[in-house]
Structure 1
Amino acid sequence: MEVVSRAEAAGLLAAAYASRRPVEPLSETYDGMTLEDSYEIQLLQIRSRLAAGARIKGHKVGLTSLAMQRQMGVGQPDYGHLLDDMFHPEHQPIRTSDYLQPRVEPEIAFVLKRPLRGPGVTVAEAAAAVDFVIPALELIDSRIRDWKIGILDTIADNASSGGVVLGSRPTPLHQVDLRLSGCTLHRCGELVATGAGGAVLGSPLNSLVWLANTVGARGVVLESGHVILPGSVTAAVAVRPGDSFTATFAGLGSVTACFAKENS
């Protein structure tokens, strides 16, 4: 194994993103890789994309369920960045060829009306900063071959971020109990997963607090108008060309993501 080179690792992931050809797990390539290495590798890629004209439009939190944390052998979530070119209009075909090995996750997205500056953010402060919640489908993807990811690999790979589809029905936070909001996920009309908001750290709001305090310790502010994806309420489901997914949340409405047929 090689000694960690953050710039080299960032280059490998960027090349995989551009070529649509996955790479081997970084944790198997580099010796002594740490969480700090992984977040810096993520940031190197984000800075490069910002320099090329991209804009940060929010953040995502991953590994929020206890089952996923146990599977990865970690005791905390991770986070990544959402850029402007990751957002897809609802019902408009998304090309699967733009991704390597995409999967879909239903989430309850937050949209902020005021900045959140951690550390030290409380649940009350986080709730007060939310403008509204909205149903969302996150398109996760991995630049690591066959999804052979550990915590170090997914963090370096921008928390396996791919794309986002937002619904069109904003709901004030006080009108819904996020913990109890049940979700059904249908693929081409067939029920493929169910869940509830409580699967996300007990409540998606806890995920928002964790994110604000974690990035705040790194000097990052969650900005007004930004979208925050707190984590999936179900297991991820693989995407096939021509698929259509609809996530329906109790009290929040639904969101649909459509994928173009092959070669279309």
Structure 2
Amino acid sequence: MEKDSIPELAQRLWRAGNGAPTVDPDATDRPDDLELAYAVQATTRALAIAAGERVIGYKIGLTSQPARDAFGAGEPAAGHLLAGRLLPEGRSLDAAGLFEPKVEVEIAFVLGEALRGPDVTAHDVRNATAAVAPAFEIVDSRWRGGATTLPMLVADNTNAAYAALGPRVAPPREGLAEIGATLSIGDREIPGSATAVMGDPAEAVAWLARHLLSSGARLEAGDIVLSGTLCAPTAISAGDRLVADLGELGRIALDVG
């Protein structure tokens, strides 16, 4: 993929996330390295802002070793969160415009202070966090058949589609590594654990803070960060009711329409 192909691919991925058909990877000039992939992602972000959207934070993908192995990734992948894709409390998810959506159970961090510098640690993240919340991330690929390479995943904003946050609570003093989770969809139950998120979700947020330096960005006070899924991504469809129980962090529920 050449750099002059970035705007066209970004337009196609952006349109696919807003009602157009999926992007056919066999008929598309695809990024073959992460630098180009993040450039495509940045261009789709600029298109969103030009359309009136606002970036409210970030999401982290590939935070478990099996997920990284599936894409041959040596580290996680980052994407951005848009205000218009954060579902208000009590609002259902309209699945009509999605292709093959899945739900992930996450711990959302709400930062009270900026995180800057190349040496941010999990301890720094804990000190900078104003609140945490149980959260759902709805992921969906705009590539026909889904992303098959790491650059494809990154270019498509790491499959970010929608997010929903439960009630915010103070971060537990003993940290988040021991938090367990159960995702219920009807009579199905999917277990999960915060240790799947790089051993500790705060470690994932620290990675993100360091990663953003490469593009001249940083985590700011007020940013929301979805730190990675505790449970295996699970397919959803219209009529489902999603309930996630994260123990002392609380519960979150979402209806799929």
TM bracket (short chain): over 0.9
Letter in 2 for 1:253: G
Residue 188 of structure 2 is matched in structure 1 by: 191
Equivalence for 1:94: 93
1:145–1:224 distance in 2 versus 1, CA, 3 Å: same
Deviation string, structure 1 residues 3-42 (Cα, Å, up to 9, x no partner): 561112112212222334111238x843772100000000
Q: Residue 109 of structure 1 contacts residue 134 of structure 1 at CA under 8 Å; is this kept in 2?
A: yes
Which residue identity does 2:104 align to in structure 1? E
* Residue type at the aligned position of 2:25: P
1:26-70: CA deviations, max 9, x gaps? 8x8437721000000000010111122111111000001000111
State the alpha-carbon separation in 2 of the partners of residues 33 and 8 from structure 1: 16
Instruction: Give the CA deviation at 1:100.
Output: 2.1
1:179 and 2:177 equivalent?
Answer: yes
Where do 5+ consecutive residues of structure 1 fail to align?
none
Residues 104-131 of structure 1 show CA distances to partners (whole Å, capped at 9, x for unaligned) of 0000110000111132212222111100
CA pair 193-176 structure 1, distance change in 2 beyond 3 A? farther
What's 2:58 paired with?
59
| 1:243 equivalent in structure 2 | 240
44-53 or 60-69, which deviates more: 44-53
CA distance in 1, matches of 2:152, 2:139: 14
Identity between Structure 1 and Structure 2 (%): 33
| 2:118 paired residue number | 119
Deviation string for 1:81-118 (max 9, x for gaps)? 00100111233222101322211000011000011113
Question: In 2, Cα distance between the equivalents of 1:104 and 1:23?
Answer: 22
| Cα contact 2:183–2:190 (8 A) shared by 1 | yes
Distance 1:25 1:54, change over 3 A: same
Q: Distance in 2 between matches of 1:109 and 1:15?
A: 27
Match of 2:158 in 1: 159
Question: Compared with structure 1, are the counterparts of its residues 32 and 140 closer, same or farther at alpha carbon in structure 2 (3 Å cutoff)?
Answer: closer
**Residue 172 (structure 1) shift:** 1.9
Whether the 8 Å CA contact 1:108–1:204 is kept in 2: the answer is yes
**Number of residue pairs the alignment of both structures matches:** 256
Question: Which whole-Å CA distance do the structure 2 matches of 1:59 and 1:22 have between them?
Answer: 23
Q: Pick one of 227, 231, 252 that aligns with 1:230.
A: 227
Alignment TM-score, normalising by the size of structure 2: 0.94
Greater shift, 171-180 or 109-118, is seen at: 171-180
Q: TM-score scaled to structure 1, two decimals?
A: 0.91
CA RMSD between the two structures: 1.7
- Structure 2, gaps ≥5 residues long: none
